[in-house]
Each structure stands twice: as C-alpha cells, then as structure tokens.
Amino acid sequence: MTTALIYILPFLSGVLLAIGVFWIKLPFFKLAKCSVALLNTLVSDLDEDEKFTAVNAQVFKTTGTLFLVLGQSAIVICLSAAIYTGMFSLIFENALSSGVKMSVLAVGSIIPFLIPRKQTSDYSDIAQLFHHLILDNYHLGKRLLARQIKDTEVNNHYTGRFSRVLVTGLARSGTTALTKELEKRGPFASLDYSNMPFLLAPRLWAKIYNPRQVENKERAHGDGVKVGLASVEALEEYFFKVMKQDRYILDNGLEKHALSEEENALYRKYQNSISGADKVYLAKNNNAITRLPSLIKYNPDLVVFVMVRDPLQHAYSLMLQHQKFLAKQENDPFITDYMTWLGHHEFGSNQRPFLLQEEDRDLHIGDPNTIEYWLKRWVSYYTYVQQFETAHLLSFEAYAKDPVSTLSCIAQAAFIDLDVAELAVFPKKDVSLDKSDSVLESTAYKLYLKLIGQCRNVRL
C-alpha cells in the first residue's frame, strides 16, 4: 500500500494539472475574446470620445477576465505543487528520484486528455474560438479588407462584357446546386469554405492555409448536396454585414437597404481581388434581394439570375429545413453563431424574413411549423422580384429536369462559355402535398405561373 502511494501522489498531481487546464479553458477563451475585442475597439473609426469610453469599458472587462484566469491558474498550480512536493516530502521523504516523480506526474497529466469526450459540434473548441476572434470583430475585418484590396482597381468601365454573375432566390430554390455547377464549368472565381474565417482577406489566409479541396461531405441541410472546402457558398454576405455594421438586420427581419457609391466601389474592389483580371466573379447570395436595386444601378457589368420554385414545394422545403436546423442548433449552439456570422437567417432559431414591402413588417409572426407561414414569405419575395426587368428568372423544376438547357440559357444571357458535357440530372423529386383553395395558395400559384412564363429555361 505504501509503495503504491509513493506513485499515486505525483500521479494525482499530474491529473490535477490536466483537470485544471479544462477548468481554466473557458475563462482563458473569454480572455482571448476580450483581448481581441479590445484591439478591435482600438482600430475602430469611432470618434475620440466614443472610442475612449469603449476602450475603457473593454479594458475593465479584459482586466477582470485576466485576474480570473490568473487566480484559477494559481489555485491549480498551488494544489498540484502541494501534492507533488509538500505532501510527498512529508510522507515519503526521498523515496523516489526527481526524474521518476516527474515521469509519473507527466503520465498523470496526459490521462485526462485521453478520456473520450462527447463531441457535440463538427468544430473543435479551438476552431470555434478562432472563428469568434476573426468574425466577431468588424473593425479588424475592415483592416483585413484594406489589405485584401490594396492596389486593386475598381474597374468601373463597362465594356459590354459581364464580369460579375449573381445567383439568387429564396432559400431552397436550388441556388447552391446551380452555383456549384457554374463554378465547375465556367471561367468563374468565388469564395469557398477554405476561405473561412478570413472572408475579407482570403489572399492572406491562402498563404497560411491551403488545404486539399474535395467535396465529400453532405451539407447540414441533408439534401444530398455534397460540400467541401472547394464548395462555393454564400460567404460574401459577411462583407455587407461589416460594411453596414448589421444595421439592416432587425429583430423582425432583414431590411431592404441601398449601397452607396463608395460602398459599391469597395465591393467591386473586393470582387476584383478575388476574381483577378481573367475570371468572372460568381456570387451566390440569397440576401442580395435586400440591396438589389443599388447593385443593378451601380454595376452594369452584373448579370442576375433568380431561381423560382413551385410555391407549395418550396414552402414545405423551408419548413422542413427550419425544423432540422432547430434540432441541430439545440445540440450544437455554435451552428447558430456560424449562420449568424454568414447572414443566414432563412431558417433555424435565428430565422428572419426579408422586409421588402411595407406589409412585410409582420411576416415574422405566425407558426413556422405550418406551410402557410413560409408560403407568405414566398409570395412576398417573388412579388417584389417582379419589378426587376433586367434580372433573368430560372425555373428550379426545369433545371432539375434539364440542367443542360438551363446552363445553356445562362451562357447565352451572360455571354460566357460553359462546359455542359456530362451534366447529370439534379436528383430532386416533389413531395406529395395536398393543395387547398385558400386565397394565399391561389395568390402564390397565380404569381408562380406568371413568373414561369418569364423564365428563360422554360418553353411554354
């Protein structure tokens, strides 16, 4: 028994150190966030009085967290040292050499890290912290953007060639599937998942992080669409969130807003820094509808494609995704943070409608577990879409049945060569849903038939 205790005490000292690391982890992460938030405040463009007040508040918060980390660290170190040196010397004197004691302590400190822990997120704790540090601090984001667009021209002279392509539509209308095919088959450049979390400085991040880009994992939507680090996604919305400081994201929805000429010039530089001189910038952004008039006004070299889907099928798909993401977010709260950073408010716990018309102020009211709730959003969205005569409408159903014709229509409209060889049919089947005689549903299908008649990839 005495022999066992000789080894148990330094072993317990090591175990205590490891447990202390887990105990200190959360306040240490908080300290990292506070420190970067302080830096973010220091580089902000606030006026001097506001900045002074904000810096003082952040210093107080950072200092308090630092003392908490130091205090907890001191407790862990003192307890571990007491067991390792004091108690051991009092009981066993020099029964073990320093080298043996240190080895036993090292083993004890490793054991807690080997115990399996339940993984609730696809992102490790360190990865989550890293995303918080980069994406939560908009003023630092602006500094990164300035580095990204340095020496990049606005290129505001339209020569008759489209240099920017926007794919948009209400979520679940096929925009992701279409954008993925376009990126593979044309002279396009776009943001992809490998750019996370440095969305405003992808060139800088690429010098540090250059992973093998494959698409081998089904995305969280559970719709069969494979994604990977090479997958283009609606990542550019973060640019607008930083530029507008989230002012268009209200409690009851995403408000319609305009870009100024200066903001649009920055956006063009940002696009050009990604696409270069020889590629066409490709954006998939469902939130673009909130600022589409100014995008069209200031960018004559932009061609816009809006996806349209059967309203009942579309509403059902939105409802289903909302329920799926609510369940996922309950198990992994980081998903909510992630979606919020990217401006994804289509479904889930942080879902918000587009506020495109005056009557849309109450769109957030209702039961999201009903198709009617989502059908109202469909009618609002596509009623607003009708005014954009230069935007090209595309049918989701037609794309699913004949993707070659859809891509050929896009190539013709954008004056871009696309490789449509070996283009597979999009595997999507309608769900059997009972139609009603409700005024809402009747309004939706009247509008749908009207829009379908204007779709470039539909031959009526």
Alpha-carbon distance of 72 to 63, in angstroms, equals 14
Q: Domain ranges in the chain? A: 2-116, 127-452
Q: Can you give the pLDDT at residue 399?
A: 95
DSSP collapsed to 3 states, the chain: CHHHHHHHHHHHHHHHHHHHHHHHHHHHHHHHHHHHHHHHHHCCCCCHHHHHHHHHHHHHHHHHHHHHHHHHHHHHHHHHHHHHHHHHHHHHCCCCCHHHHHHHHHHHHHHHHHCCCCCCCCCCHHHHHHHHHHHCCHHHHHHHHHHHCCCCCCCCCCCCCCCEEEEECCCCCCHHHHHHHHHHHCCEECCEHHHCCCCCCHHHHHHHCCCCCCEEEECCCCCCCEEECCCECCCCHHHHHHHHCCCCEECCEEECCCCCHHHHHHHHHHHHHHHCCCCEEEEECHHHHHHHHHHHHHCCCEEEEEEECCHHHHHHHHHHHHHHHHHHHHHCCHHHHHHHHCCCCCCCCCCCCEECCHHHHHCCCCCCCCHHHHHHHHHHHHHHHCCCCCCEEEEHHHHHHCHHHHHHHHHHHHCCCCCCCCCCCCCCCCCCCCCCCCHHHHHHHHHHHHHHCCCCCCCC
**pLDDT tens series, the chain, 460 aa:** 456 666 777 788 888 888 888 889 999 999 999 999 999 999 998 898 899 999 999 999 999 999 999 999 999 888 888 876 766 555 555 566 667 767 877 887 888 888 887 777 889 999 999 999 999 999 999 999 999 999 898 886 666 679 999 999 999 999 999 999 999 999 999 999 999 999 999 999 998 887 765 555 554 545 445 545 556 777 999 999 999 999 999 999 999 999 999 999 999 999 999 998 889 999 999 999 999 999 999 999 999 999 999 999 999 999 999 999 999 999 999 999 999 999 999 999 999 999 999 889 999 999 999 999 999 999 999 999 999 999 999 999 999 999 999 999 999 999 999 998 888 777 777 787 877 779 999 999 999 999 999 998 887 5
Specify the pLDDT at position 382: 97
Inter-axis angle of helices 334-341 and 311-331, nearest 10: 130
Closest-CA residue to 327 (of 369, 364, 376, 378): 369
Q: Which CATH number fits domain 127-452: 1.10.10, 3.10.450, 2.60.40, 3.40.50?
A: 3.40.50
Cα distance between residue 209 and residue 130, in whole Å: 14
User: 10 Å Cβ neighbour count for 136?
Assistant: 16
Are 265 and 154 a contacting pair, CB within 8 Å? yes
CA distance 286 to 194: 20
- What phi-psi label fits residue 244: left (phi over 0), alpha (psi between -120 and 50 degrees) or beta? alpha
Q: d(Cα 25, Cα 8) in Å, to the nearest integer?
A: 26
Question: Contact 403/397 with Cβ under 8 angstroms?
Answer: no
- Give the pLDDT score at 231: 63
